[in-house]
Amino acid sequence: MILLNPAKLNRFYPDERSKEVMTKTIEFFENKGKNKLLEDFYGQEWYADFLEFVKENRIFATMCTPAGEGAEDCRWDTWRICGFAEILGFFGLQYWYTWQVSVLGLGPIWMSPNKKVRKHAAQALEDGGIFAFGLSEQHHGADIYSTDMVLTEDGDGWKANGRKYYIGNGNKAAINSTFGRFDGGDEYVFFAADSQHPKYNLIKNVVASQNYVSEYELQDYPVGEDDILHRGRDAWNAALNTVNIGKYNLGWASIGMCTHALYEAFTHAHNRVLYKMKVTDFSHVKQMFMDAHARLVAMKLFALRAADYMRVASSEDRRYLLYNPMCKMKVTTQGEEVINQMWDAIAAKGFEKDQYFSQAAIDIRALPKLEGTVHVNIALIVKFMPSFFFNPGEYPEVAQQSQAANDDFLFNQGGTKGLGQIQFHDYHKAFEGVNLPNVKEFLDQAEAFKDLLATDPPGPEQMRDVDFLLAGGEIFALVVYAQLVLENAKIYGVDDDLLDQIFDFMVRDMSKFALQLYSKPSSTAKQMECCQKIIRKSAHDPGRYARVWDKHILPLDGAYEMKA
Protein backbone atom coordinates (compact mmCIF):
# COMPACT_ATOMS: atom_id res chain seq x y z
CA MET A 1 0.00 0.00 0.00
CA ILE A 2 1.59 3.25 -1.14
CA LEU A 3 -0.52 5.59 1.01
CA LEU A 4 0.74 6.73 4.41
CA ASN A 5 -0.87 5.05 7.41
CA PRO A 6 0.56 6.41 10.70
CA ALA A 7 -0.65 3.31 12.51
CA LYS A 8 1.51 1.14 10.25
CA LEU A 9 4.50 3.23 9.24
CA ASN A 10 6.23 1.07 6.68
CA ARG A 11 8.24 3.55 4.62
CA PHE A 12 11.89 2.59 4.25
CA TYR A 13 14.50 4.72 6.03
CA PRO A 14 18.16 3.77 5.77
CA ASP A 15 19.08 4.95 9.28
CA GLU A 16 17.54 4.80 12.75
CA ARG A 17 17.58 8.56 13.39
CA SER A 18 15.41 9.25 10.33
CA LYS A 19 12.89 6.63 11.42
CA GLU A 20 12.98 8.04 14.95
CA VAL A 21 12.11 11.54 13.68
CA MET A 22 9.06 10.17 11.84
CA THR A 23 7.80 7.94 14.63
CA LYS A 24 8.24 10.60 17.31
CA THR A 25 6.44 13.16 15.18
CA ILE A 26 3.52 10.78 14.69
CA GLU A 27 3.49 10.03 18.43
CA PHE A 28 3.34 13.75 19.22
CA PHE A 29 0.18 14.21 17.15
CA GLU A 30 -1.47 10.98 18.27
CA ASN A 31 -0.87 11.94 21.91
CA LYS A 32 -2.27 15.40 21.22
CA GLY A 33 -5.40 13.82 19.78
CA LYS A 34 -7.86 14.92 17.12
CA ASN A 35 -10.09 16.89 19.47
CA LYS A 36 -7.27 19.11 20.69
CA LEU A 37 -5.84 19.36 17.17
CA LEU A 38 -9.13 20.74 15.86
CA GLU A 39 -9.74 22.88 18.93
CA ASP A 40 -6.40 24.62 18.37
CA PHE A 41 -7.14 24.96 14.65
CA TYR A 42 -10.48 26.67 15.09
CA GLY A 43 -9.23 28.65 18.10
CA GLN A 44 -6.25 29.90 16.07
CA GLU A 45 -3.91 28.85 18.87
CA TRP A 46 -0.20 29.44 18.24
CA TYR A 47 1.42 25.98 18.10
CA ALA A 48 3.87 26.48 20.94
CA ASP A 49 3.46 22.83 22.00
CA PHE A 50 4.61 21.61 18.60
CA LEU A 51 7.60 23.94 18.55
CA GLU A 52 8.56 22.80 22.05
CA PHE A 53 8.42 19.19 20.84
CA VAL A 54 10.60 20.16 17.86
CA LYS A 55 13.12 21.78 20.20
CA GLU A 56 13.25 18.92 22.71
CA ASN A 57 13.74 16.30 20.02
CA ARG A 58 16.00 18.33 17.68
CA ILE A 59 13.58 17.66 14.83
CA PHE A 60 14.25 20.71 12.65
CA ALA A 61 17.94 20.60 13.50
CA THR A 62 18.19 17.04 12.17
CA MET A 63 16.05 17.65 9.10
CA CYS A 64 17.10 21.16 8.06
CA THR A 65 20.84 21.36 8.73
CA PRO A 66 23.06 20.28 5.80
CA ALA A 67 25.84 17.81 6.47
CA GLY A 68 28.93 19.51 7.82
CA GLU A 69 27.00 22.42 9.32
CA GLY A 70 25.80 20.66 12.48
CA ALA A 71 25.70 17.38 14.39
CA GLU A 72 26.42 14.00 12.84
CA ASP A 73 22.75 13.11 12.29
CA CYS A 74 22.09 16.31 10.33
CA ARG A 75 21.79 16.37 6.56
CA TRP A 76 19.56 17.81 3.84
CA ASP A 77 18.05 14.58 2.58
CA THR A 78 15.11 14.92 0.17
CA TRP A 79 14.04 11.29 0.68
CA ARG A 80 13.32 11.80 4.35
CA ILE A 81 12.10 15.38 3.83
CA CYS A 82 9.30 13.99 1.63
CA GLY A 83 8.20 11.60 4.36
CA PHE A 84 8.37 14.31 7.04
CA ALA A 85 6.40 16.83 4.96
CA GLU A 86 3.74 14.21 4.25
CA ILE A 87 3.36 13.41 7.96
CA LEU A 88 3.03 17.08 8.90
CA GLY A 89 0.45 17.62 6.15
CA PHE A 90 -1.41 14.52 7.31
CA PHE A 91 -1.97 16.03 10.75
CA GLY A 92 -2.41 19.67 9.76
CA LEU A 93 -1.22 22.25 7.28
CA GLN A 94 -0.34 24.65 10.11
CA TYR A 95 2.41 22.36 11.38
CA TRP A 96 3.72 21.82 7.89
CA TYR A 97 3.67 25.57 7.31
CA THR A 98 5.96 26.61 10.16
CA TRP A 99 8.47 23.99 9.02
CA GLN A 100 8.06 24.87 5.33
CA VAL A 101 8.64 28.58 5.92
CA SER A 102 11.74 27.68 7.92
CA VAL A 103 12.99 25.70 4.92
CA LEU A 104 12.56 28.77 2.75
CA GLY A 105 14.24 31.05 5.26
CA LEU A 106 17.20 28.70 5.47
CA GLY A 107 17.66 28.51 1.70
CA PRO A 108 19.54 31.82 1.25
CA ILE A 109 21.57 31.07 4.38
CA TRP A 110 22.84 27.64 3.32
CA MET A 111 23.61 29.03 -0.15
CA SER A 112 25.58 31.92 1.33
CA PRO A 113 29.37 32.15 1.79
CA ASN A 114 28.68 33.94 5.10
CA LYS A 115 30.07 31.46 7.62
CA LYS A 116 29.04 33.55 10.61
CA VAL A 117 25.34 33.51 9.71
CA ARG A 118 25.49 29.82 8.76
CA LYS A 119 26.94 29.01 12.18
CA HIS A 120 24.26 31.11 13.86
CA ALA A 121 21.55 29.30 11.87
CA ALA A 122 22.87 25.87 12.84
CA GLN A 123 22.87 26.82 16.52
CA ALA A 124 19.40 28.37 16.25
CA LEU A 125 18.10 25.09 14.82
CA GLU A 126 19.63 23.18 17.71
CA ASP A 127 17.88 25.64 20.04
CA GLY A 128 14.52 24.94 18.37
CA GLY A 129 14.43 28.13 16.30
CA ILE A 130 12.24 28.79 13.28
CA PHE A 131 13.05 30.92 10.24
CA ALA A 132 11.39 33.28 7.77
CA PHE A 133 11.75 34.14 4.08
CA GLY A 134 11.29 37.90 3.73
CA LEU A 135 10.65 38.09 0.00
CA SER A 136 7.12 39.22 -0.86
CA GLU A 137 5.61 42.67 -0.42
CA GLN A 138 2.02 43.84 -0.27
CA HIS A 139 2.07 45.88 -3.46
CA HIS A 140 4.44 43.67 -5.47
CA GLY A 141 3.74 40.14 -4.27
CA ALA A 142 6.70 37.97 -5.18
CA ASP A 143 7.71 40.32 -8.03
CA ILE A 144 11.25 40.69 -6.81
CA TYR A 145 12.11 43.09 -9.64
CA SER A 146 10.11 45.73 -7.78
CA THR A 147 11.19 45.40 -4.15
CA ASP A 148 10.76 48.48 -1.98
CA MET A 149 13.06 47.21 0.79
CA VAL A 150 16.02 49.61 0.45
CA LEU A 151 19.44 49.59 2.09
CA THR A 152 21.05 53.03 2.39
CA GLU A 153 24.72 53.51 3.24
CA ASP A 154 25.41 54.44 6.87
CA GLY A 155 29.08 54.57 7.84
CA ASP A 156 30.58 51.09 7.40
CA GLY A 157 27.16 49.52 6.97
CA TRP A 158 23.61 50.30 5.90
CA LYS A 159 20.20 51.19 7.26
CA ALA A 160 17.34 49.06 5.91
CA ASN A 161 13.90 50.57 5.41
CA GLY A 162 10.81 48.98 3.95
CA ARG A 163 7.90 46.63 4.54
CA LYS A 164 7.39 42.95 3.86
CA TYR A 165 4.03 41.23 3.65
CA TYR A 166 2.75 37.66 3.90
CA ILE A 167 5.89 36.43 5.64
CA GLY A 168 5.33 33.25 7.66
CA ASN A 169 7.08 32.94 11.03
CA GLY A 170 7.83 36.66 10.91
CA ASN A 171 6.86 36.97 14.57
CA LYS A 172 9.38 34.50 15.99
CA ALA A 173 12.04 33.89 13.34
CA ALA A 174 15.56 33.48 14.71
CA ILE A 175 16.72 34.72 11.29
CA ASN A 176 14.52 36.36 8.69
CA SER A 177 16.29 36.11 5.32
CA THR A 178 15.16 39.43 3.86
CA PHE A 179 15.37 40.46 0.20
CA GLY A 180 15.93 44.06 -0.89
CA ARG A 181 18.09 46.34 -3.00
CA PHE A 182 20.80 48.88 -2.40
CA ASP A 183 19.79 52.52 -2.71
CA GLY A 184 20.65 54.29 -5.94
CA GLY A 185 20.59 51.30 -8.26
CA ASP A 186 19.18 47.89 -9.00
CA GLU A 187 21.70 45.74 -7.12
CA TYR A 188 19.77 43.18 -5.11
CA VAL A 189 20.68 41.93 -1.65
CA PHE A 190 19.71 39.22 0.83
CA PHE A 191 20.50 39.98 4.46
CA ALA A 192 19.83 38.38 7.83
CA ALA A 193 17.36 40.20 10.06
CA ASP A 194 16.43 39.45 13.67
CA SER A 195 12.67 39.44 14.35
CA GLN A 196 13.27 40.49 17.97
CA HIS A 197 15.39 43.57 17.12
CA PRO A 198 13.92 46.92 18.29
CA LYS A 199 14.09 48.27 14.72
CA TYR A 200 12.07 45.31 13.45
CA ASN A 201 8.45 46.42 13.71
CA LEU A 202 5.97 43.53 13.67
CA ILE A 203 2.76 45.09 12.36
CA LYS A 204 0.17 42.31 12.26
CA ASN A 205 -0.81 38.79 11.30
CA VAL A 206 -2.50 39.22 7.92
CA VAL A 207 -4.50 35.95 8.12
CA ALA A 208 -6.96 34.39 10.58
CA SER A 209 -4.99 31.24 11.35
CA GLN A 210 -2.81 29.37 13.80
CA ASN A 211 0.03 30.46 11.54
CA TYR A 212 1.54 33.89 11.98
CA VAL A 213 1.76 35.24 8.44
CA SER A 214 3.27 38.60 9.16
CA GLU A 215 3.51 42.07 7.86
CA TYR A 216 6.63 43.71 9.26
CA GLU A 217 8.56 46.90 8.71
CA LEU A 218 12.24 47.66 9.09
CA GLN A 219 12.82 51.23 10.25
CA ASP A 220 16.46 52.25 10.02
CA TYR A 221 17.35 48.64 10.79
CA PRO A 222 21.17 48.38 11.03
CA VAL A 223 22.77 45.98 8.55
CA GLY A 224 26.47 45.22 8.74
CA GLU A 225 28.71 43.43 6.27
CA ASP A 226 28.48 40.31 8.42
CA ASP A 227 24.67 40.30 7.95
CA ILE A 228 24.87 40.20 4.14
CA LEU A 229 24.02 36.83 2.64
CA HIS A 230 24.12 37.64 -1.10
CA ARG A 231 24.60 40.63 -3.39
CA GLY A 232 23.70 41.32 -7.00
CA ARG A 233 22.91 38.42 -9.30
CA ASP A 234 23.72 35.98 -6.50
CA ALA A 235 20.84 37.42 -4.45
CA TRP A 236 18.48 36.97 -7.38
CA ASN A 237 19.63 33.38 -7.91
CA ALA A 238 19.33 32.63 -4.19
CA ALA A 239 15.70 33.73 -4.24
CA LEU A 240 14.75 31.53 -7.19
CA ASN A 241 16.89 28.57 -6.15
CA THR A 242 15.36 28.65 -2.66
CA VAL A 243 11.94 28.42 -4.27
CA ASN A 244 13.19 25.41 -6.27
CA ILE A 245 14.09 23.64 -3.05
CA GLY A 246 11.26 24.64 -0.78
CA LYS A 247 8.12 25.03 -2.84
CA TYR A 248 8.36 21.44 -4.05
CA ASN A 249 7.09 20.55 -0.58
CA LEU A 250 3.69 22.08 -1.34
CA GLY A 251 2.76 18.87 -3.13
CA TRP A 252 3.61 16.78 -0.06
CA ALA A 253 1.39 18.86 2.21
CA SER A 254 -1.46 18.22 -0.21
CA ILE A 255 -0.72 14.47 -0.31
CA GLY A 256 -0.70 14.25 3.48
CA MET A 257 -3.96 16.14 3.94
CA CYS A 258 -5.77 14.18 1.23
CA THR A 259 -4.63 10.85 2.69
CA HIS A 260 -5.98 11.63 6.17
CA ALA A 261 -9.22 12.97 4.69
CA LEU A 262 -9.62 9.84 2.54
CA TYR A 263 -9.44 7.47 5.51
CA GLU A 264 -11.98 9.53 7.41
CA ALA A 265 -14.34 10.14 4.52
CA PHE A 266 -14.44 6.58 3.23
CA THR A 267 -14.91 5.04 6.67
CA HIS A 268 -17.84 7.40 7.29
CA ALA A 269 -19.49 6.81 3.90
CA HIS A 270 -18.99 3.05 3.91
CA ASN A 271 -20.68 2.67 7.29
CA ARG A 272 -23.63 4.95 6.51
CA VAL A 273 -26.88 3.47 5.19
CA LEU A 274 -29.37 5.48 3.12
CA TYR A 275 -32.42 4.04 1.38
CA LYS A 276 -31.39 0.62 2.71
CA MET A 277 -28.05 0.83 0.87
CA LYS A 278 -24.52 1.52 1.96
CA VAL A 279 -23.64 4.98 0.68
CA THR A 280 -20.61 3.51 -1.08
CA ASP A 281 -22.90 1.15 -3.04
CA PHE A 282 -24.36 4.08 -4.98
CA SER A 283 -22.62 4.11 -8.35
CA HIS A 284 -21.87 7.84 -8.32
CA VAL A 285 -20.37 7.69 -4.82
CA LYS A 286 -18.31 4.67 -5.78
CA GLN A 287 -16.95 6.61 -8.77
CA MET A 288 -16.09 9.57 -6.54
CA PHE A 289 -13.98 7.44 -4.22
CA MET A 290 -12.49 5.50 -7.12
CA ASP A 291 -11.29 8.71 -8.75
CA ALA A 292 -10.19 10.29 -5.48
CA HIS A 293 -8.05 7.28 -4.62
CA ALA A 294 -6.57 6.98 -8.12
CA ARG A 295 -5.70 10.68 -8.21
CA LEU A 296 -4.10 10.52 -4.77
CA VAL A 297 -1.95 7.50 -5.66
CA ALA A 298 -0.85 9.28 -8.85
CA MET A 299 0.01 12.41 -6.84
CA LYS A 300 2.29 10.43 -4.60
CA LEU A 301 3.89 8.42 -7.41
CA PHE A 302 4.72 11.63 -9.26
CA ALA A 303 6.05 13.51 -6.24
CA LEU A 304 8.25 10.61 -5.18
CA ARG A 305 9.68 10.29 -8.67
CA ALA A 306 10.29 14.03 -8.91
CA ALA A 307 12.34 13.73 -5.72
CA ASP A 308 14.55 11.15 -7.39
CA TYR A 309 15.42 13.68 -10.09
CA MET A 310 16.06 16.38 -7.49
CA ARG A 311 18.54 14.08 -5.74
CA VAL A 312 20.52 13.24 -8.90
CA ALA A 313 20.50 16.82 -10.18
CA SER A 314 23.71 18.45 -11.35
CA SER A 315 24.78 21.28 -13.60
CA GLU A 316 24.51 18.75 -16.48
CA ASP A 317 21.11 17.38 -15.40
CA ARG A 318 18.53 20.02 -14.48
CA ARG A 319 15.40 18.09 -15.35
CA TYR A 320 14.16 18.74 -11.83
CA LEU A 321 13.41 22.34 -12.86
CA LEU A 322 10.40 21.00 -14.79
CA TYR A 323 9.29 18.38 -12.27
CA ASN A 324 9.60 20.75 -9.31
CA PRO A 325 6.99 23.34 -10.44
CA MET A 326 4.81 20.40 -11.47
CA CYS A 327 4.68 19.44 -7.77
CA LYS A 328 3.78 23.01 -6.89
CA MET A 329 1.08 23.22 -9.54
CA LYS A 330 -0.19 19.82 -10.67
CA VAL A 331 -0.01 17.85 -7.43
CA THR A 332 -1.67 20.62 -5.42
CA THR A 333 -4.51 21.16 -7.89
CA GLN A 334 -5.08 17.42 -7.95
CA GLY A 335 -5.32 17.64 -4.17
CA GLU A 336 -8.17 20.11 -4.51
CA GLU A 337 -9.88 17.72 -6.91
CA VAL A 338 -9.48 14.80 -4.48
CA ILE A 339 -11.06 16.78 -1.62
CA ASN A 340 -13.86 18.01 -3.90
CA GLN A 341 -14.77 14.48 -4.97
CA MET A 342 -14.80 13.13 -1.42
CA TRP A 343 -16.75 16.16 -0.18
CA ASP A 344 -19.48 15.47 -2.73
CA ALA A 345 -19.64 11.94 -1.34
CA ILE A 346 -19.86 12.84 2.36
CA ALA A 347 -21.79 16.10 1.87
CA ALA A 348 -22.65 17.92 5.13
CA LYS A 349 -20.33 15.70 7.16
CA GLY A 350 -17.43 17.63 5.65
CA PHE A 351 -18.44 20.78 7.53
CA GLU A 352 -18.49 19.28 11.02
CA LYS A 353 -15.90 20.83 13.32
CA ASP A 354 -14.99 17.52 14.99
CA GLN A 355 -13.88 16.05 11.66
CA TYR A 356 -10.37 16.41 10.26
CA PHE A 357 -12.02 16.75 6.85
CA SER A 358 -13.41 20.17 7.76
CA GLN A 359 -9.88 21.45 8.32
CA ALA A 360 -8.53 19.83 5.16
CA ALA A 361 -11.37 21.29 3.09
CA ILE A 362 -10.31 24.78 4.14
CA ASP A 363 -6.55 24.35 3.91
CA ILE A 364 -6.36 22.40 0.65
CA ARG A 365 -7.29 25.61 -1.20
CA ALA A 366 -4.16 27.39 -0.02
CA LEU A 367 -1.55 25.20 -1.64
CA PRO A 368 -2.10 25.92 -5.36
CA LYS A 369 -2.30 29.61 -4.47
CA LEU A 370 1.01 29.80 -2.66
CA GLU A 371 4.11 30.62 -4.73
CA GLY A 372 2.55 32.40 -7.63
CA THR A 373 -0.67 30.46 -8.33
CA VAL A 374 -1.20 27.93 -11.10
CA HIS A 375 -0.81 30.29 -14.04
CA VAL A 376 2.67 31.40 -12.94
CA ASN A 377 3.89 27.82 -12.77
CA ILE A 378 2.33 26.91 -16.12
CA ALA A 379 4.01 29.94 -17.67
CA LEU A 380 7.26 28.51 -16.32
CA ILE A 381 6.82 24.91 -17.46
CA VAL A 382 5.78 25.77 -21.04
CA LYS A 383 9.32 27.08 -21.53
CA PHE A 384 10.41 23.43 -21.43
CA MET A 385 7.81 22.19 -23.91
CA PRO A 386 9.76 22.43 -27.21
CA SER A 387 12.80 20.68 -25.77
CA PHE A 388 10.68 18.04 -24.03
CA PHE A 389 8.86 16.98 -27.19
CA PHE A 390 11.38 17.64 -29.94
CA ASN A 391 14.90 17.57 -28.53
CA PRO A 392 15.24 14.70 -26.04
CA GLY A 393 18.62 13.92 -24.53
CA GLU A 394 20.29 10.75 -23.32
CA TYR A 395 20.67 10.20 -19.59
CA PRO A 396 21.52 7.20 -17.43
CA GLU A 397 18.45 5.55 -15.94
CA VAL A 398 17.59 6.99 -12.52
CA ALA A 399 16.86 4.48 -9.77
CA GLN A 400 14.93 5.20 -6.58
CA GLN A 401 17.00 7.63 -4.49
CA SER A 402 16.39 6.47 -0.91
CA GLN A 403 20.00 6.54 0.28
CA ALA A 404 21.12 8.42 3.39
CA ALA A 405 22.99 11.26 1.69
CA ASN A 406 23.20 15.02 1.77
CA ASP A 407 21.78 16.65 -1.36
CA ASP A 408 24.72 18.97 -1.96
CA PHE A 409 23.66 20.32 -5.35
CA LEU A 410 20.44 21.88 -4.06
CA PHE A 411 22.51 24.58 -2.35
CA ASN A 412 24.86 24.93 -5.29
CA GLN A 413 22.44 25.21 -8.22
CA GLY A 414 24.25 28.08 -9.91
CA GLY A 415 22.50 30.44 -12.31
CA THR A 416 18.83 30.50 -13.20
CA LYS A 417 19.05 31.17 -16.94
CA GLY A 418 18.87 28.87 -19.95
CA LEU A 419 15.73 26.93 -19.07
CA GLY A 420 14.80 26.47 -22.72
CA GLN A 421 18.06 24.61 -23.38
CA ILE A 422 17.49 21.93 -20.72
CA GLN A 423 16.98 18.50 -22.26
CA PHE A 424 14.78 15.66 -21.02
CA HIS A 425 14.78 11.95 -21.60
CA ASP A 426 12.34 10.62 -24.19
CA TYR A 427 8.92 10.21 -22.59
CA HIS A 428 8.09 7.31 -24.91
CA LYS A 429 10.41 5.05 -22.90
CA ALA A 430 8.08 5.19 -19.90
CA PHE A 431 5.25 3.80 -22.04
CA GLU A 432 7.26 0.91 -23.46
CA GLY A 433 5.99 -2.51 -22.43
CA VAL A 434 2.84 -1.12 -20.79
CA ASN A 435 0.02 -2.74 -22.74
CA LEU A 436 -2.96 -1.35 -20.84
CA PRO A 437 -5.95 0.12 -22.71
CA ASN A 438 -6.01 3.53 -21.04
CA VAL A 439 -2.24 3.91 -21.09
CA LYS A 440 -2.23 3.31 -24.85
CA GLU A 441 -5.20 5.66 -25.27
CA PHE A 442 -3.34 8.36 -23.36
CA LEU A 443 -0.20 7.94 -25.45
CA ASP A 444 -2.27 8.45 -28.59
CA GLN A 445 -3.60 11.67 -27.08
CA ALA A 446 -0.07 12.83 -26.28
CA GLU A 447 1.01 12.15 -29.85
CA ALA A 448 -1.94 14.16 -31.17
CA PHE A 449 -0.86 17.09 -29.01
CA LYS A 450 2.71 16.73 -30.22
CA ASP A 451 1.35 16.82 -33.78
CA LEU A 452 -0.42 20.09 -32.96
CA LEU A 453 2.86 21.59 -31.78
CA ALA A 454 4.69 20.34 -34.87
CA THR A 455 2.15 21.42 -37.50
CA ASP A 456 0.59 24.57 -36.03
CA PRO A 457 2.43 25.67 -32.88
CA PRO A 458 1.14 28.62 -30.87
CA GLY A 459 1.91 31.88 -32.64
CA PRO A 460 3.35 35.05 -31.04
CA GLU A 461 -0.07 36.39 -30.08
CA GLN A 462 -1.15 33.08 -28.61
CA MET A 463 2.06 32.88 -26.59
CA ARG A 464 1.16 36.24 -25.04
CA ASP A 465 -2.39 35.05 -24.32
CA VAL A 466 -2.16 33.55 -20.83
CA ASP A 467 -5.67 32.10 -21.10
CA PHE A 468 -4.64 30.14 -24.21
CA LEU A 469 -1.35 29.05 -22.63
CA LEU A 470 -3.11 27.71 -19.54
CA ALA A 471 -5.12 25.19 -21.54
CA GLY A 472 -2.12 24.08 -23.61
CA GLY A 473 0.09 24.03 -20.53
CA GLU A 474 -2.33 21.73 -18.73
CA ILE A 475 -2.09 19.23 -21.59
CA PHE A 476 1.70 19.39 -21.55
CA ALA A 477 1.70 18.98 -17.76
CA LEU A 478 -0.41 15.83 -18.07
CA VAL A 479 2.13 14.24 -20.42
CA VAL A 480 4.96 14.95 -17.97
CA TYR A 481 2.79 13.74 -15.11
CA ALA A 482 2.00 10.48 -16.91
CA GLN A 483 5.66 9.86 -17.70
CA LEU A 484 6.81 10.01 -14.09
CA VAL A 485 3.77 8.11 -12.80
CA LEU A 486 4.60 5.28 -15.18
CA GLU A 487 8.27 5.28 -14.22
CA ASN A 488 7.44 5.06 -10.54
CA ALA A 489 4.64 2.54 -10.97
CA LYS A 490 7.33 0.12 -12.15
CA ILE A 491 9.59 0.94 -9.19
CA TYR A 492 6.80 0.52 -6.64
CA GLY A 493 5.19 -2.46 -8.32
CA VAL A 494 1.78 -0.86 -8.81
CA ASP A 495 -0.53 -3.53 -10.21
CA ASP A 496 -1.92 -3.23 -13.72
CA ASP A 497 -5.52 -2.79 -12.61
CA LEU A 498 -4.75 0.24 -10.46
CA LEU A 499 -2.42 1.71 -13.06
CA ASP A 500 -5.04 1.45 -15.80
CA GLN A 501 -7.59 3.00 -13.43
CA ILE A 502 -5.22 5.93 -12.90
CA PHE A 503 -4.97 6.41 -16.65
CA ASP A 504 -8.75 6.21 -16.89
CA PHE A 505 -9.02 9.63 -15.21
CA MET A 506 -5.98 10.92 -17.09
CA VAL A 507 -7.59 10.18 -20.46
CA ARG A 508 -10.68 12.03 -19.29
CA ASP A 509 -8.63 14.98 -18.03
CA MET A 510 -6.71 15.17 -21.30
CA SER A 511 -10.00 15.29 -23.19
CA LYS A 512 -11.29 18.05 -20.90
CA PHE A 513 -8.24 20.25 -21.47
CA ALA A 514 -8.31 19.57 -25.21
CA LEU A 515 -11.90 20.79 -25.34
CA GLN A 516 -10.88 23.93 -23.47
CA LEU A 517 -8.05 24.56 -25.94
CA TYR A 518 -10.41 23.91 -28.86
CA SER A 519 -12.84 26.48 -27.46
CA LYS A 520 -10.37 29.34 -27.05
CA PRO A 521 -11.19 32.33 -29.26
CA SER A 522 -7.72 32.38 -30.80
CA SER A 523 -7.40 28.65 -31.62
CA THR A 524 -6.82 28.02 -35.33
CA ALA A 525 -8.62 25.57 -37.57
CA LYS A 526 -5.62 23.21 -37.57
CA GLN A 527 -5.28 23.41 -33.80
CA MET A 528 -8.98 22.67 -33.41
CA GLU A 529 -8.62 19.65 -35.68
CA CYS A 530 -5.77 18.31 -33.53
CA CYS A 531 -7.78 18.95 -30.38
CA GLN A 532 -10.61 16.82 -31.77
CA LYS A 533 -8.12 13.96 -32.13
CA ILE A 534 -7.12 14.35 -28.48
CA ILE A 535 -10.68 14.05 -27.20
CA ARG A 536 -11.18 10.39 -26.36
CA LYS A 537 -13.34 8.20 -24.16
CA SER A 538 -11.47 6.18 -21.55
CA ALA A 539 -11.70 2.39 -21.73
CA HIS A 540 -14.06 1.10 -19.05
CA ASP A 541 -13.57 -2.46 -17.82
CA PRO A 542 -16.13 -3.58 -15.18
CA GLY A 543 -13.87 -6.41 -14.04
CA ARG A 544 -10.89 -4.12 -13.53
CA TYR A 545 -13.10 -1.58 -11.76
CA ALA A 546 -14.42 -4.20 -9.36
CA ARG A 547 -10.96 -5.59 -8.62
CA VAL A 548 -9.57 -2.13 -7.82
CA TRP A 549 -12.54 -1.46 -5.57
CA ASP A 550 -12.13 -4.71 -3.68
CA LYS A 551 -8.34 -4.64 -3.40
CA HIS A 552 -7.57 -0.95 -2.93
CA ILE A 553 -10.69 0.95 -1.84
CA LEU A 554 -12.58 -1.33 0.54
CA PRO A 555 -9.51 -1.85 2.79
CA LEU A 556 -9.63 1.90 3.57
CA ASP A 557 -12.63 1.26 5.83
CA GLY A 558 -11.38 1.66 9.39
CA ALA A 559 -7.76 1.43 8.28
CA TYR A 560 -6.83 4.55 10.25
CA GLU A 561 -8.62 6.77 12.74
CA MET A 562 -6.86 9.45 14.74
CA LYS A 563 -7.16 9.13 18.48
CA ALA A 564 -9.66 11.51 20.04
| Domains by residue range for the chain, with CATH | 6-130 (1.10.540.10), 133-239 (2.40.110.10), 243-393+425-555 (1.20.140.10)
**Which pLDDT score, from 0 to 100, does residue 464 have?**
86
Each residue of 286-307: pLDDT tens digit?
Answer: 999 999 999 999 999 999 999 9
Rounded to an integer, the average pLDDT of 411-429 is 90
* Residue 372 pLDDT > 70: no
Does the pTM surpass 0.75? The reply is yes
Q: How many CA atoms lie within 13 A of 527 on its CB side?
A: 20
- Spatial distance between the Cα atoms of 520 and 473, rounded to a whole number of angstroms: 13
Each residue of 239-285: pLDDT tens digit?
Answer: 999 998 988 899 999 999 999 999 999 999 999 999 999 999 999 99
Helices (H), 204-249: 233-246
Each residue of 425-453: pLDDT tens digit?
Answer: 999 999 999 999 999 999 999 999 999 99
Question: pLDDT tier at 371 (50, 70, 90 boundaries)?
Answer: low
Each residue of 509-531: pLDDT tens digit?
Answer: 999 999 999 999 999 999 999 99
In percent, how much of the chain has pLDDT > 70? 99
- Spatial distance between the Cα atoms of 87 and 119, rounded to a whole number of angstroms: 29
Rounded to an integer, the average pLDDT of 144-154 is 90
- Strands 228-231 and 188-193, by their bridges, are antiparallel
Each residue of 327-358: pLDDT tens digit?
Answer: 999 999 999 999 999 999 999 999 999 999 99
Q: Looking at this protein, which amino acid is placed at residue 181?
A: R
**pLDDT top residue among 372 and 42:** 42
Question: pLDDT tier at 413 (50, 70, 90 boundaries)?
Answer: very high
**Cα radius of gyration rounded to whole Å, the chain:** 24
**Which pLDDT score, from 0 to 100, does residue 38 have?**
98
Name the CA dihedral angle for 435, 441, 447, 451, rounded to a multiple of 10 degrees: 150
Name beta bridge partners: 274: 277
